[in-house]
Chain A
């Protein structure tokens, strides 16, 4: 293996980062309405959201990617590997983020709800001004560890031909016949990628904690 062999791995790295960031963004945004539906006062909506979350989490990521890429892609409308992976992982991230948000909201002391109700704030206003800012701080560490998990999950996108890290590793190992070194290197890249996320989350957590600990 030479330095030139590393180039495809670095190219794969950018795809892994793009896929992770994209899927996480989709999940973090879609998780909010999903949480709202999950906590809705209308039971059909609540039931629907709960079922959707259960089903999304019950099926392995690789199967979701196949259902979207081969199932929808061959049957309904053609879809590129990257978009299929983004859709599948975004869907999974949304279900998981909704659960993370739910846990964070549940951790807020009920006195906060009562106090807001006593102040006659509306339901939306309670959520936006009182609950969400506090819940955000609670959700941050779990969201960061989920982001690391999601980053590793993106490796399954290699199975539908997204040229990310695991895919490039696979190609390189077939090209050089040095699977041991190549896959060790790929594993190392994933570990290295997770370090800045863990560090950022610790810094952000410390900053937010310092803000409330007056």
Chain B
């Protein structure tokens, strides 16, 4: 039994964080919003870091890592509000193909030559795929109408898990933006962040985020180990991450005041992605129902002696 994130895992996530902070700041989001939201140069940078091959086995030209590693990096993609379809292709599509033993496309995916649009019955759209265009509130999302009847539960679990991981990263970023604003905006002769009314709201967000993270990492590991209960843990993660991100989004705009309602302040990019991913791959009610079926339905052992059931 070990819930430790290793130094290697944390170091890799930090490397990705630093890279994205340096190359994918808010000014990039503004450029993408104005000039077309995909950029081959950004994609190539992710490929060069090995991220498209993170979960691809070494024999197929990848790094052969696991879902916890991928979830940590998905959180970094959320933190940077990354526009490119890295998480869908590399952290959802790849493990789904692997689970089916479909290895043919993996070398091309690892090399960044192919992306994997993922159609599933839970979503009325497919992201970065073919079909009549649908407009998302998030200007970085390219959605096409899809009436797919693929209800594969493993694909759903992977999609929901990686959405949850991105949501905790998004929440972290929104909390950071609100904190930075509260440190600099002065009213009544002091930074508004010195007021307890502001402090306490932001501290409450920190509580929600910090207690959502271990749920996400635990769900990633449960899915990696192929545990029978993994779906419940993924749903738990999606609910916890959604609640943390939505609370932080609403708190962050409140802390920004009227400035938060403008296009000029960056926050809206992160809020819009949070709204989108909260609903994608099964919304809160869907996942709460799956927890309900397990916990009140009696299919999952509960109680102190069943922490990792």
Q: Is B one of A's binding partners?
A: no
Binding site for B on A (CB under 8 A): none
Binding site for A on B (CB under 8 A): none
